[in-house]
Amino acid sequence: MSLWRKLDARFMAEAPAERLATLRFLTGVFALAYLLVRAPVLADFRRPPGGFHPVGLVSWLDAPLPVWAVFVIFGLTLLTAACFTLGHRYRWTGPAFALLFLWVTSYRNSWGMVFHNENLLALHLCVLGLSDAAAAVSLDARRAGGAPPPHARFGWPLRLMSATTVLVYVLAGVAKLKVTGISWMDGDVLRNYIAYDAMRKTQIGSIRSPIAGYIVQVGWPYVLLSVFTLVVELGGPIALCSRRLTLYWVLAAYGFHVGVFASMAIAFPYPLSGIAFGSMFACERLWNFRRLGRLRSRLFEPGLRNEQAGVC
């Protein structure tokens, strides 16, 4: 068998519908919570028009939208987020939510600093929104009478999401080398960046790491930390090779984000939640927990619950 056929067979391998559906539910819950927490920033732009520099999906705009339009779009985003999470009319609400989330975050990034901690979530929502992620554990599946058997159409979105996750980390590593070159590995760049971040946040009264002032006084760990960062980011493709390497890489990547949060008070909520790496594991096993199993039964399987109670 040729290499291309092997890769095709691996990418299009079957997967349970419950796995993709569980990932849709988890990602939808996170995205909805993120939108609600960030609502004061994402939904209100009563600022001078001169600060508007459209990027991404909204780059075709010449001027800011009316305030009422911003609120209406944000309200629609919340509504479709709930439908996405529950798998309700997913054929339409899945793509709609992915597009609206991309619009809302792009519009926010058009007013000043361009944030990149939402990119991976937006990409994952696009993959999920364009796939058959509501064939199980959803209101649509409840109406259809249950989940279908494992199929390739449930497998390729998971592998595409995993490849997207890895690619995002690889691009971050390439960007570091492009800006600083091999000097990144001597540790001084990382150390100076942590010191600058702490000093800037102190001056503007922002939240900063309580340990930043202490750790910048120690020089030797930064060589190891700089090398570790590049190994994690550029070594992302190993996560696609085997289950054991996947686990090791995810643990390393998670530790990287914990370190960034501890040293600079910069949080990447989506990876820190663990959901960003869910496509690499059998996440449907989460329903085996009693409380989550009850939630699934009440929301998506009322017929099964009635049968168990002896009601036909």
Task: Identify the residue whose tokens are 């439908």.
Answer: 83
Distance separating alpha carbons of residues 8 and 112, to the nearest angstrom: 42
Q: What is the pLDDT of residue 221?
A: 84
List phi, psi (to 5°) of 72: -65, -45
List phi, psi (to 5°) of 206: -90, 170
Task: Name residue 151's beta-bridge partners.
Answer: 15
List phi, psi (to 5°) of 151: -155, 160
Half-sphere exposure of 105 (CA within 13 A, CB side): 22
Q: What is the pLDDT of residue 144?
A: 87
Distance separating alpha carbons of residues 297 and 275, to the nearest angstrom: 22
On whether the CB atoms of residues 11 and 159 are closer than 8 A, the answer is yes
Task: Name residue 15's beta-bridge partners.
Answer: 151
| Average pLDDT along the chain, 312 residues, taken 10 residues at a time | 67 90 97 94 72 88 89 96 97 97 93 83 97 95 87 94 96 92 87 85 83 78 91 95 94 95 91 96 92 87 48 31
pTM exceeds 0.75, yes or no = yes
Distance separating alpha carbons of residues 11 and 192, to the nearest angstrom: 42
Distance separating alpha carbons of residues 171 and 167, to the nearest angstrom: 6
Coil, helix or strand at residue 151:
strand
Task: Identify the residue whose tokens are 């459209």.
Answer: 54
Coil, helix or strand at residue 274:
coil
Distance separating alpha carbons of residues 87 and 91, to the nearest angstrom: 9
Count the neighbouring beta carbons within 10 Å of the beta carbon of residue 174.
Answer: 13
Tokens of 275: 């959901």
Distance separating alpha carbons of residues 149 and 18, to the nearest angstrom: 9
Non-local CB neighbours of 155 within 8 Å, separated by 6+ positions: 11, 12, 13, 14, 15
Radius of gyration (Cα) for the chain, nearest Å? 22
Tokens of 4: 């291309």
On whether the CB atoms of residues 308 and 298 are closer than 8 A, the answer is no
Coil, helix or strand at residue 15:
strand
SS3 content of the chain, % helix, strand, coil (to 5): 75, 0, 25
On whether the CB atoms of residues 75 and 40 are closer than 8 A, the answer is no
